[in-house]
Amino acid sequence: MTLLQVRGLTIQDRQGIALVDQLSMTLSAGDILGLVGESGSGKTLSCRAMMRLLPGEGLTISGGEILFNGTDLLTLNDKQMTAIRGREIGMIFQNPASHLNPVMTIGQQIAESRRLHFGASHREAHLQAVELLRQVGIPDPLRRVDNYPHEFSGGMRQRAMIAVALACEPKMLIADEPTTALDVTVQMQILRLLRDLRDRLGIAIILITHDLGVVAQTCDRIAVMYGGRLCETGDKRPVLAQAIHPYTRGLIDCQPVSEGGSGRLITLPGQPPVAARFPTGCRFHPRCANATAQCQRMQPAMQTGHGHVAACHHPLSGRENESSI
């Protein structure tokens, strides 16, 4: 069942530059979608738009629809949107320390949501907080529920923030680089936790990341963005095995190889574009080895290949390479 359908989402800055340009994507209930791209690709901005929380002044959603459970979120007033935010769509961030309240215990922060949204009594909300901490893998939750955020390690704070988000029983979770600040072992545990929550609770998750290794481990589907536009999207396996967009291919080739290989780390040449100087035509053309005059002139339309879709005038044939991730 389709839970989220974004159609033609466009976000402009005050100069009228499309920082996100005609983004379309879907998310089914219980799916994990990896939203991938370098800094400035528009992935976080797009998800902020889904929460109607655009950062900074002068950014506007100038076009498109964000259908959540069939309702266009862009047509809701502030009060209606507040009821959706947190309750239906939760969000977790890279740095939980700045999103947890330092002067409230972890338990109080979870219990507050239970009381507010579900009318739980103080005692019920406290017990539910303990249970949620247990569900996200906090050891000794009966004792830890009364700890403050600074008494938790980085990984435990991330688990606690997930518990706070889950307290509202959302249908969808947006996880914005939730493991970037964590060491590799804790990173694996948090990704496993997200998959486990999807399996047990059926929550749909958008996982924002710049790391294709994270996508390979965790996600069902992938959407790759560059310069505010969608490059390629589809089921994870065919996209990673047979990418047809040169940018997706470049990201795959940049992944470190754990075993075998030459040991040489390939990097994408050039820098991602800044909004004020988005190139004409395909925004990837200055960095693309396959670029032609057509690419410089015309924005490519989405086309299908190997069961997924990509926006490219000269899509690749899609050679097998899943073993490299």
The distance of closest approach from Cβ of residue 21 to ligand SF4 in the complex, given in angstroms and rounded to an integer, is 14
195 in contact with ligand SF4 (CB under 6 A): no
Q: Contact letters (x/-) for ligand SF4, 288-307, by CB under 6 A?
A: x-xx---x----x-------
Residue with Cβ nearer ligand SF4 (241 or 282): 282
Q: Residue 312 CB, nearest distance to ligand SF4 (Å)?
A: 3
- Tell me the sheet residues that pair with 5: 26, 67
Distance from the first to the final alpha carbon of the chain: 30
Q: How far is the CB of 271 from ligand SF4 (least distance, A)?
A: 16
**What's the rounded Cα separation, in Å, for the pair 156 and 189?**
10
Write down the residue that tokens 């002068």 correspond to. 58
CB-CB contact of 243 with 249 (8 Å): yes
If binding is defined by CB under 6 A, does position 246 make contact with ligand SF4? yes
313 binds ligand SF4 (CB under 6 A): yes
Q: Measured from the CB atom, is 110 or 295 closer to ligand SF4? A: 295
229 binds ligand SF4 (CB under 6 A): no
Verify binding: residue 285, ligand SF4, rule CB under 6 A.
yes
Q: Give, as ranges, the residues between 33 and 72 that touch ligand SF4 (CB under 6 A).
A: none
Would you count residue 312 as binding ligand SF4 (CB under 6 A)? Answer: yes
Write the CB contacts of 22 (distance below 8 Å, at least 6 apart in sequence): 8, 9, 10, 63, 64, 229, 230
> What's the min distance (Å) between Cβ of 26 and ligand SF4?
23
CB nearer to ligand SF4: give 66 or 311: 311
Distance of alpha carbon 266 from its chain centroid, rounded? 25
Residue 248's nearest CA partner among 301, 212, 290 is 212
Nearer to ligand SF4, 236 or 285 (CB): 285
Burial class (CB in 10 A: 0-12, 13-18, 19+), 199: exposed
- Looking at 223, 282, 309, 325, which residue binds ligand SF4 (CB under 6 A)? 282
CB closer to ligand SF4 out of 295 and 309: 295
Q: Is 206 in the site for ligand SF4 (CB under 6 A)?
A: no
Report the residue number, 126 or 285, with the smaller CB distance to ligand SF4.
Answer: 285
Q: Which of 159, 158, 165, 160 is nearest to 203 (CA)?
A: 165
Residue 284 sits in the site that holds ligand SF4 (CB under 6 A): yes
| Pick 157 or 287: Cβ nearer ligand SF4 | 287
Plot region of 312 (φ>0 → left; ψ -120 to 50 → alpha; else → beta): beta
d(CA 66, CA 60): 14
| By CB under 6 A, residue 222 contacts ligand SF4 | no
Nearest to 23 by CA among 318, 314, 316, 311: 311
Beta-carbon contacts of 223 under 8 Å, excluding residues fewer than 6 positions away, are: 25, 33, 34, 35, 36, 230, 232, 233
Q: Does 203 bind ligand SF4 (CB under 6 A)?
A: no
Closest distance to ligand SF4 from the beta carbon of 281 (Å): 7
- Binding residues (CB under 6 A) for ligand SF4: these are 245-246, 282, 284-285, 288, 290-291, 295, 300, 312-314
